[in-house]
Copies of this chain bind each other. A is one copy, B any other.
Amino acid sequence: MTTYGLLVFEAAEELDFVGPWEVFTASAMLRDEDDKAFLVAEQPGPVRCAKGLRVVPDHTLDDHPKLDVLLVPGGRGARETQPHNPSVTGWIAKTAQQADWVTSVCTGSILLHAAGPAKGRRVATHWASEDDLEARGDVTVVRDARYVVDGNLITSQGVSAGIDMALWLVGRIHGRDHARAVRRYIQYEPAPPYMADVPE
Interface size on A, residues (CB 8 A): 52
- This chain: how many copies in the complex? 2
- Complex alpha-carbon distance, A169 and B31, angstroms: 35
A130-179, CB < 8 A from B: 146, 157-161, 163-164, 167-168, 171, 176, 179
**Which residues on the B side are within 8 Å of A51 (C-beta)?**
21-22, 25-26, 28-29, 37
Residue in B53, B184, B188 whose beta carbon sits within 8 Å of that of A18 in the complex: B53
Does A14 make an interface contact (CB < 8 A)? yes
**Which residues on the B side are within 8 Å of A37 (C-beta)?**
51-52
Residue in B21, B39, B159, B189 whose beta carbon sits within 8 Å of that of A22 in the complex: B159
A79-87, A115-123, A191-199: which lies at the interface: A191-199
25 contacts between A and B (CB under 8 A): A14-B22, A14-B25, A15-B21, A18-B53, A21-B51, A21-B53, A25-B52, A26-B51, A37-B51, A46-B46, A53-B55, A54-B56, A126-B187, A158-B186, A158-B187, A159-B185, A159-B187, A160-B186, A160-B190, A161-B191, A168-B193, A168-B194, A176-B194, A176-B197, A183-B194
A residues adjacent to B (C-beta < 8 A) = 13-15, 18-19, 21-22, 25-26, 28-29, 37-39, 46, 51-56, 58, 106, 126-127, 146, 157-161, 163-164, 167-168, 171, 176, 179-180, 183-194, 197
